[in-house]
Chains A and B, each alone.
Chain A
Amino acid sequence: DTGVSQNPRHKITKRGQNVTFRCDPISEHNRLYWYRQTLGQGPEFLTYFQNEAQLEKSRLLSDRFSAERPKGSFSTLEIQRTEQGDSAMYLCASSQRVAPNTPQYFGPGTRLTVL
């Protein structure tokens, strides 16, 4: 078990381009979460999957953002027509659906810079 992994670790793109990030959770974890963290702030919840079902989305997740978890394993987060305000660290976390009292384990994050 290597923990939660995210790729790429860094992404620099020009405004208007589309970007896609990938998250591989801990193998036996069926819950997967995406967060966004801007400089000097705590992470903010974006969306959450239980297996392949996307169960909750934050208002922060505009229609330019889409997340998928097609087989209930890895997940992708796509941002279309990127804007400078999308520049942030995108964090993925996973947990087990055993009980609510299970911790979330975070990946190293993908840092996005939109020029």
Chain B
Amino acid sequence: KQEVTQIPAALSVPEGENLVLNCSFTDSAIYNLQWFRQDPGKGLTSLLLIQSSQREQTSGRLNASLDKSSGRSTLYIAASQPGDSATYLCAAPRGYQKVTFGIGTKLQVIP
């Protein structure tokens, strides 16, 4: 059974700071790992998907890394902005179908 843990559960940083969100998973036999953003009361927005054969993916100010052997992924956000305030979820699929999510990291960027 895949278990996904995200640390920290909540994070508050001043605007402009660089930050790292952590995700760990127990079953390293994953096809990919996906990072999502969720605004309060809303659905999930896909940010980055890292294939199992890749070590990292970048999109704008976001960079996600994947280390399958250690069961870890990080999401790096550069030059944080108040608009980045949201909950960030990582998800690791077990097989083709079922995706297991972490509880998420609630980020607040203070102007």
Contact = CB atoms under 8 A, between A and B. Distances in A.
Given A100-B32, A100-B93, A100-B96, A91 B101 contact: no
Interface residues of B, number: 27
Interface string A83-99: 00000010101000000
Interface string A27-47: 000010100000011111100
B59 to A, nearest CB: 12
A21 interface: no
Contact of B43 (A44, A91, A103): A91
Interface residues of A, number: 27
B98 interface: yes
A45 to B, nearest CB: 5
A72 B2 CA distance: 28
Contacts of A44: 101
A105 B96 contact: no
Contact of B31 (A56, A89, A101): A101
B46 A105 contact: yes
A74 interface: no
Contact of A106 (B41, B44, B51, B96): B44
Given A91-B43, A101-B52, A103-B49, A45 B100 contact: yes
B97 A106 contact: no
B98 A45 contact: yes
Given A42-B89, A42-B104, A104 B99 contact: yes
Contacts of B103: 40-42
Interface of B: 4, 31-32, 34, 36, 41-46, 49, 51-52, 89, 91, 93, 95-104
